[in-house]
Amino acid sequence: MKKNKKYQLKKLIGQSLIEVILAVALLAIFASSLSVYLNNQLAYMTRGQNALEAIYLAQEGLEASRSIRDMGWEYLATGTHGLVYSGEWNFAGTEEGVGKFTRKILIDDISENERSVISWVTWPGTTALRSIMLATNLSNWREIVEPLLEGDWGYPTTLGSVDLGPGNTPTGLVVRNGILYMSAQASSAAKPDFFVVDVSNGISPVIVGQIDTSPGLNGVDVAGDFVFLANQDASNQLQIANISDPNNPYLISSYRLIGNTSQALAIAATGTTVFIGTANDAGSELYTINVSNPSTPSVLNNLEIGADVNNIFINGDTLYLATSQDDNEVVILDISNPANPTVTASLNLPNTNDALSVFVNYQDNRLYVSRKADGTANSPEIVIYNVTDKNNPQLLGSMEFSNDVYSAYAADGLMFIATSYSSQEFQVYRASDPANLMYWTGLNFPQLAVDMDLENNTIYMSIRSNDALRIITSQ
């Protein structure tokens, strides 16, 4: 019996030993597998972290390239570049090391004003070099502007016209959102001299409103719900009308320019400020008017020009005057502070013929000056300047005509002029090279053309005839 018990005890001990050995073996296998799993997971995490860092560096490379483009298109040079940061990003060398990572910026041309940018980041992997690329296209946004014209302007066509009635002569116009506002000189003080025309259908324009301001108007401009009129009445040079309902315009105020006894010749409005110019006077010829309350306008400033102010054009915080001065036909003023306009430059054009109008094409910062005809040599009726630096305009070109050029407008490399030339009062020129203006085409109207405006590929022109408004577009 005792012998049997000893045998059973030995057998139990043997079994426990085997179980322990098996448990240890299983534990060793599990530990080995766990170690491999953890090592793999750690490797995956490391690769993931590297990829995230690489994506961040690639994104930073695109942003750095964008900031370099913003400093100047010429700095975004084609080729392969590294980056360096010292207060601002710049390209340096052909690559850049950032810890274990290498970054390159690859730039290539797509078109004249667009380039592809690839930010390429590489780093050493376990068995091979790993990489991430991010790409974008950058444009020369300072040089890209939306075109204003379409169709073939080599074959302009007249859509419709408006008859103001016998004896009514247009003097100026402005168009906003399919509604045109026209100033005029009436043959009688009892006749209307301000007209509102619905031109949304260019083939059938319709006069929807009119006012008799007495005695007549020389200019018009619009801001918000108000129209501002340059009146020939020397005791009420500025008049303001409410046009919130184009079918029912009405005068709300008239204002006399204290110290000036001449008629108003030109007017321009921006926001709650109006600039009005008069004929040469013993007093000032340019007035700055606060019209924040149109019912009670007030003078902010007045300035002696010493000549007729024939036309006013506003471009941002710059005011351009076309004058009758012999040695300063164009005067340029900084109006960033409307209460204190400051002359920054004046232009003495060849000979002494008066400047009749000024226009700045915002697409290329070119100033177009139109003038009365002189007939003598070197007295151009169109003069063009670069006014990117308004303190230092640069002459680009000019052209002589045998007739008055009352107005000029430019867009998309073309110049349109309104003239007294009896065979072609409306003319179109190719003006990409201002030093070599090239005649393209024109239209003949019954009388001389005095003013124009452009909206939605349509030119609105005032003609000194019964059909005072002509609406022109391309083929």
Residue that terminates a domain, selected from 109, 139, 169:
139
Mean pLDDT of 124-131: 86
Using DSSP bridges, classify how beta strands 458-463 and 129-139 pair: parallel, antiparallel or unpaired.
unpaired
Residue 44 clears pLDDT 60, i.e. is over it:
no
User: What value, to the nearest 5°, has the Cα angle with vertex 30 and ends 27 and 32?
Assistant: 110
Q: Any idea of the CA torsion for 97, 102, 103, 109, to the nearest 10 degrees?
A: 120
Is residue 311 located within the same domain as residue 456?
Answer: yes
Same domain, 249 and 320: yes
Q: Identify the domain containing residue 57 by its residue range.
A: 2-139
Residue 118 has pLDDT above 80, yes or no: yes
Mean pLDDT of 98-109: 94
Alpha-carbon gap, residue 63 to 69, rounded angstroms: 10
pLDDT of residue 375: 84
Same domain as 128, residue 49: yes
User: Looking at residue 167, what is its pLDDT?
Assistant: 83
Phi then psi for residue 15, to 5 deg, are -65, -40
Query: Both 74 and 165 in a single domain?
Result: no
Q: Which residues have CB under 8 Å from 185's CB, separation 6+?
A: 168, 169, 171, 193, 216, 217, 218, 232
416 within a domain of the structure (yes/no): yes
CB 249, CB 240: distance < 8 Å = no
Hunting for tokens 């200019």 — which residue is that? 219
pLDDT-derived band at 65, boundaries 50, 70, 90: very high
| Residues 198, 96 within the same domain | no
Do 103 and 94 contact (CB within 8 A), yes or no? no
Q: Which of 112, 139, 166 is the endpoint of a domain?
A: 139
Q: Of 139, 174, 192, which marks where a domain is finished? A: 139
Least confident of 125-129, 193-197, 240-244: 125-129
Residue 378 within a domain? yes
Q: What is the pLDDT of residue 19?
A: 63
- Confirm if 170 and 434 have CB atoms less than 8 A apart: no
Tell me the C-alpha distance between 36 and 57, whole Å: 31
* pLDDT for the residue 257: 97
What type of residue is 116? S
Examine the domain organization and report whether 194 and 123 are in the same domain: no
300 domain residue, yes or no: yes
For residue 296, the domain's CATH number is 2.130.10.10
pLDDT at 187 over 90: no
Residue 181 lies in a domain: yes
The confidence band for 29, taking pLDDT boundaries of 50, 70 and 90, is low
For residue 130, pLDDT over 80 is answered with yes
Let me know whether 187 and 94 are in one domain: no
User: Which residues have C-beta within 8 Å of that of residue 18, sequence separation ≥ 6?
Assistant: none
Decide: residue 53, CB within 10 A, 0-12 exposed, 13-18 middle, 19+ buried. Answer: middle
403 and 429 co-located in one domain: yes
If DSSP codes are grouped into helix, strand and coil, which group holds residue 39?
A: helix
Residue 55 in domain:
yes
Tell me which residue of 418, 409, 414 sits closest to 434, measured CA to CA: 414
**Residue 67 has what pLDDT?**
93
The rounded Cα 196 to chain-centroid distance in angstroms is: 27
Long-range contacts of 84-91 (CB under 8 A, 24+ apart): 89/64, 89/65
Structure tokens at 10: 């030995």
CA distance 129 to 137: 27
Per residue in 310-364, pLDDT (tens digit) is 999 999 999 999 999 999 999 999 999 999 999 999 999 999 999 999 999 999 9
Q: Are residues 7 and 38 in the same domain?
A: yes
pLDDT value at 38 more than 60? no
**Assigned token pair, 26:** 């299983």
Take residue 249 and report the two structure tokens written for it: 């315009």
Return the structure tokens found at 229. 């009129």
Q: Do 118 and 212 have their domain in common?
A: no
Report how far residue 114's alpha carbon sits from residue 432's, in angstroms, rounded to the nearest whole number. 21
> Does pLDDT of 15 surpass 80?
no
* Coil, strand or helix at 75: helix
> Same structural domain for residues 200 and 131?
no
CA distances from 185 to 39, 171, 212 (A): 93, 7, 10
**What pLDDT is recorded for position 47?**
64
Q: Are 269 and 258 in contact (CB under 8 A)?
A: no
Average pLDDT score over residue span 39-43 = 53
Render 386-413 in DSSP notation, one character per residue: E-SSTTS-EEEEEE--SS-EEEEEEETT
Domain count, the chain: 2
With cut-offs at 50, 70 and 90, classify the pLDDT of residue 307.
very high
Q: Indicate whether 150 belongs to any domain.
A: no
What gap in Å lies between CA 283 and CA 274, rounded to an integer?
19
| 3-class SS shares of the chain: helix, strand, coil, % to 5 | 15, 45, 40
Q: Does residue 147 form part of some domain?
A: no
Q: What is the residue-averaged pLDDT of the chain?
A: 91
Instruction: Show the beta-strand stretches assigned E in 189-297.
Output: 194-198, 206-211, 217-223, 226-231, 238-242, 250-255, 264-270, 273-278, 286-290
| Rounded Cα–Cα distance for residues 230 and 251 (Å) | 13
Residue 152, in any domain of the structure: no
Specify the range with the lowest mean pLDDT, choosing from 139-148, 219-228, 373-382, 420-429: 139-148
- The residues, ordered by sequence, that sit 6+ positions from 145 with a Cβ below 8 Å of its Cβ are 362, 363
Given pLDDT bands bounded at 50, 70 and 90, which one contains residue 384? very high
Tokens linked to 141: 């946004």
Give the tens place of pLDDT for each residue, 400-449. Answer: 998 999 999 999 999 999 999 999 999 999 999 999 999 999 999 999 99
Round to whole Å and give the CA distance between 351 and 429: 23
Asked if residue 46 and residue 175 are part of one domain, the reply reads no
Residue 454 has pLDDT above 60, yes or no: yes
- pTM for the model stands at 0.76
